[in-house]
A and B are shown apart, each in its own frame.
Chain A
Amino acid sequence: MAVKKFVVGNFDDEAVLFPAVKKVRRAGYKIHDVFTPFPIHGLDKVMGLRDTSLHTAGFIYGITGTATAVGFITWALTVDWQINFGGKPFFALPAWIPVTFELTVLFAAVGMVLTFCYLCQLAPFVKKDHFNPRSTDDIFVMALECTDKTNEAEAMSFLETIGAKEVKVEYKETEWWLGRYDKDRMRFQKKEQDNH
């Protein structure tokens, strides 16, 4: 579990946040992440995030579904247990297309949901530390990761000049963890105090 130090700026306006992200990147600070109450079009591009690979994974899952369906039905109906359906050939591909299609969709859908949950570290009992719970309500939160060379006071005043309403330095757990939120939370609070 890695506890890191962050300079956190809270913005209350999307229109302020957008240019702020650009300015912060131009100034050379490392953005850990930006938390927003709703998806903001183009923010990923401004933050310089790479495209997700989720669709590549989806394609692979879909192909797996196709192969599973065609492979299994072919084996079952031409090798293992041949049945004569209305004089059709045993290898009756057109009749299998609906099943193949459904299995492709099923594999792709379920696989992509699970991959999405893995990438976002979402699951029952998985906990993540939030910078500001109000980032799910009306506050836009930008977290800058501090390195050895970061001058926190400078970073804080910089965030204030570009429009952050509230700026603070925080120690946060960056990974996910399993367990009960309140208990674990206390552990991190203690760690935070030790660090101060």
Chain B
Amino acid sequence: MSIRENFVVPKRYNTIAFALMAIGILAIIGLYVTSGSKSDPKEQARFWASLLQNSVFFLLVVNASMFFICATTLAWGGWQMAFRRVPEAISAVVPVIGVICGAILLAIVFGGNHTIYHWTDTHHVAEDAILNHKKGFLNKGFFAVATVLTIVLWSVLGWKMRQLSRSLDSKPLATVEARKKYIWNNTVWAALFIIVFSLTVMSSIPWLWLMSIDAHWYSTMYSWYTFASTFVSGMALIALFVVFLKNNNYLEYTNNEHLHDIGKFMFAFSVFWTYLWFSQFMLIWYANIPEETIYFQPRAHGIYKGIFWLMFIINFIAPLLLLMTRDAKRNYGTITFMSLLIIFGHWLDFYQMVFPAVSPNKVPMILYDFGVALGFVGLIMFVTGRALSKAPLLAKNHPFVKESLIHHT
């Protein structure tokens, strides 16, 4: 087989994607029948919480790809150029999952069921001193505006970055001046995305979407920690697609040097995630104030103990030991295994962020949620595959391409 420049979606690939989406829809139907259709608001909340956890997690994971592109663009990095079309294609999923996620979030906020976001209950808030203080931030209007604005900005700025990249495919830049101008243009748009990204994922959006489920409790580390979680999963997702394309004879110029650097990101940000996770945990553990420790009570000691410690082992111990060596980061098998493990581990992390507040008395049947997750995986596969097939896999006219071809770690 010869090396090919344009990705052609294999039939089996789409079959698997559709099968996964079918599993997801079946899981959603199953969840709806077993809990969503019940009259008990707590049971209904379990259905919506599953959708919330999965859609928010996968939205943030695919959006991490665009963050990766913009961060490397701002740093004037060139090494990622050989496989840059992969994160670009993954970030094309953002508008799709964004619409789903936005619809779910708005449905939860305006749906009249106050179990997940109990700050939506105005009578309750009036009597609750703490929630009354937070009213300026935690109210339906602000939530809706912030959510819609965030998703629209991510989608539009991501689209602009992809557009800039693809604009070069048909017309190469002739002069040095034109190349400089192109890089400058890229830098400005990437900077805009990073500003929006830092004002949303890195600081406020996880507070709104996830932390406000435990509305009384707060942690200023929370958003950073969520960002680290989704960024390391995003790198793992990029690694999976790179390995998949390499195994199918695409991405001629991407080699072990590039994979090694992606592996470094997975390793480093796993440790970074642990650092933030532990910083949040230790301060609360040390101060030992009841209104703060209440967050960790069901998670570290209660019925969610198993999931909590399992995700800690998967997200910290496993990458630390298995991804430490140079050979591991250059091995397709290890990278694939660790990528799957890391994505699963951070999905579990999100699980224990959402569910202890929604279902404090029993751990919900996690298989349903896993089924919903598979549905989102199928959706990501399908949309990314389509986006990959639409443009050449190498942005060959980008001024920094040479730097990537001779990349050496």
Interface residues of A (CB under 8 A from B): 41-42, 51, 55, 59, 86-88, 94-95, 97-98
Point out the residues of chain A lying under 8 angstroms from B324, CB to CB.
59
Could you tell me the distance in whole angstroms from the C-beta of B54 to the nearest C-beta in chain A? 31
Q: Cβ of B362 < 8 Å from any Cβ of A?
A: no
**For the complex, what is the distance from the CA of A42 to the CA of B324, rounded to whole Å?**
22
Q: Assuming A51-B326, A59-B324, is B286 touching A95 (CB within 8 A)? A: yes
Point out the residues of chain B lying under 8 angstroms from A86, CB to CB.
288
Considering the complex, give the chain A residue whose CB is closest to the CB of B327: A51
**For the complex, what is the distance from the CA of A88 to the CA of B278, rounded to whole Å?**
18
Point out the residues of chain B lying under 8 angstroms from A94, CB to CB.
278, 281-282, 285-286
Q: Are A42 and B408 in contact (CB under 8 A)?
A: yes
**For the complex, what is the distance from the CA of A76 to the CA of B297, rounded to whole Å?**
29
Point out the residues of chain B lying under 8 angstroms from A55, CB to CB.
325-326
Point out the residues of chain B lying under 8 angstroms from A42, CB to CB.
408
**For the complex, what is the distance from the CA of A95 to the CA of B285, rounded to whole Å?**
9
Considering the complex, give the chain A residue whose CB is closest to the CB of B325: A55
Point out the residues of chain A lying under 8 angstroms from B408, CB to CB.
41-42
Point out the residues of chain B lying under 8 angstroms from A98, CB to CB.
282
The 9 closest A-B pairs by CB, nearest first: A41-B408, A94-B282, A94-B285, A42-B408, A97-B278, A95-B286, A97-B282, A86-B288, A94-B281
Count, chain B residues at interface, CB 8 A = 11
Point out the residues of chain A lying under 8 angstroms from B278, CB to CB.
94, 97
Point out the residues of chain B lying under 8 angstroms from A87, CB to CB.
288
**For the complex, what is the distance from the CA of A164 to the CA of B286, rounded to whole Å?**
67
Could you tell me the distance in whole angstroms from the C-beta of A97 to the nearest C-beta in chain B? 6
Considering the complex, give the chain B residue whose CB is closest to the CB of A86: B288
**For the complex, what is the distance from the CA of A87 to the CA of B287, rounded to whole Å?**
11
Point out the residues of chain A lying under 8 angstroms from B288, CB to CB.
86-88
Could you tell me the distance in whole angstroms from the C-beta of B148 to the nearest C-beta in chain A? 40
| Sample of 4 further A-B pairs with CB below 8 A, known A86-B288, A94-B281, A98-B282 | A55-B326, A88-B288, A95-B286, A97-B282
Could you tell me the distance in whole angstroms from the C-beta of B257 to the nearest C-beta in chain A? 10
Point out the residues of chain A lying under 8 angstroms from B282, CB to CB.
94-95, 97-98
**For the complex, what is the distance from the CA of A98 to the CA of B324, rounded to whole Å?**
21
B275-296 vs A, Cβ < 8 Å mask (1 yes, 0 no): 0001001100110100000000
Could you tell me the distance in whole angstroms from the C-beta of B127 to the nearest C-beta in chain A? 33
Interface residues of B (CB under 8 A from A): 278, 281-282, 285-286, 288, 324-326, 406, 408
**For the complex, what is the distance from the CA of A42 to the CA of B407, rounded to whole Å?**
10
Give the residue among A51, A88, A94, A97 with the most B Cβ atoms within 10 A: A94
Could you tell me the distance in whole angstroms from the C-beta of A120 to the nearest C-beta in chain B? 20
**For the complex, what is the distance from the CA of A41 to the CA of B406, rounded to whole Å?**
10
**For the complex, what is the distance from the CA of A51 to the CA of B330, rounded to whole Å?**
14
Considering the complex, give the chain A residue whose CB is closest to the CB of B286: A95
Q: Show 20 residue pairs from A and B whose CB-CB distance is below 8 angstroms, ordered by the A residue.
A: A41-B406, A41-B408, A42-B408, A51-B326, A55-B325, A55-B326, A59-B324, A86-B288, A87-B288, A88-B288, A94-B278, A94-B281, A94-B282, A94-B285, A94-B286, A95-B282, A95-B286, A97-B278, A97-B282, A98-B282
Point out the residues of chain B lying under 8 angstroms from A88, CB to CB.
288
Considering the complex, give the chain A residue whose CB is closest to the CB of B324: A59
Could you tell me the distance in whole angstroms from the C-beta of A85 to the nearest C-beta in chain B? 9
Could you tell me the distance in whole angstroms from the C-beta of A108 to the nearest C-beta in chain B? 12
Considering the complex, give the chain B residue whose CB is closest to the CB of A85: B286
**For the complex, what is the distance from the CA of A86 to the CA of B288, rounded to whole Å?**
9
Could you tell me the distance in whole angstroms from the C-beta of A104 to the nearest C-beta in chain B? 11
Could you tell me the distance in whole angstroms from the C-beta of A193 to the nearest C-beta in chain B? 44
Considering the complex, give the chain A residue whose CB is closest to the CB of B284: A94
Point out the residues of chain B lying under 8 angstroms from A95, CB to CB.
282, 286
**For the complex, what is the distance from the CA of A97 to the CA of B282, rounded to whole Å?**
9
Point out the residues of chain A lying under 8 angstroms from B286, CB to CB.
94-95
Point out the residues of chain B lying under 8 angstroms from A51, CB to CB.
326
**For the complex, what is the distance from the CA of A81 to the CA of B347, rounded to whole Å?**
43
Point out the residues of chain B lying under 8 angstroms from A97, CB to CB.
278, 282
**For the complex, what is the distance from the CA of A149 to the CA of B406, rounded to whole Å?**
39
Could you tell me the distance in whole angstroms from the C-beta of B283 to the nearest C-beta in chain A? 10
**For the complex, what is the distance from the CA of A87 to the CA of B408, rounded to whole Å?**
53
Could you tell me the distance in whole angstroms from the C-beta of B378 to the nearest C-beta in chain A? 39
**For the complex, what is the distance from the CA of A42 to the CA of B406, rounded to whole Å?**
10
Point out the residues of chain A lying under 8 angstroms from B326, CB to CB.
51, 55
Could you tell me the distance in whole angstroms from the C-beta of A81 to the nearest C-beta in chain B? 20
**For the complex, what is the distance from the CA of A54 to the CA of B395, rounded to whole Å?**
37
Could you tell me the distance in whole angstroms from the C-beta of B221 to the nearest C-beta in chain A? 15
**For the complex, what is the distance from the CA of A41 to the CA of B408, rounded to whole Å?**
7
Could you tell me the distance in whole angstroms from the C-beta of A84 to the nearest C-beta in chain B? 13
Considering the complex, give the chain A residue whose CB is closest to the CB of B282: A94
Point out the residues of chain A lying under 8 angstroms from B281, CB to CB.
94
Could you tell me the distance in whole angstroms from the C-beta of B266 to the nearest C-beta in chain A? 17
**For the complex, what is the distance from the CA of A27 to the CA of B204, rounded to whole Å?**
64
**For the complex, what is the distance from the CA of A87 to the CA of B326, rounded to whole Å?**
44
Could you tell me the distance in whole angstroms from the C-beta of A102 to the nearest C-beta in chain B? 13
Could you tell me the distance in whole angstroms from the C-beta of B82 to the nearest C-beta in chain A? 16
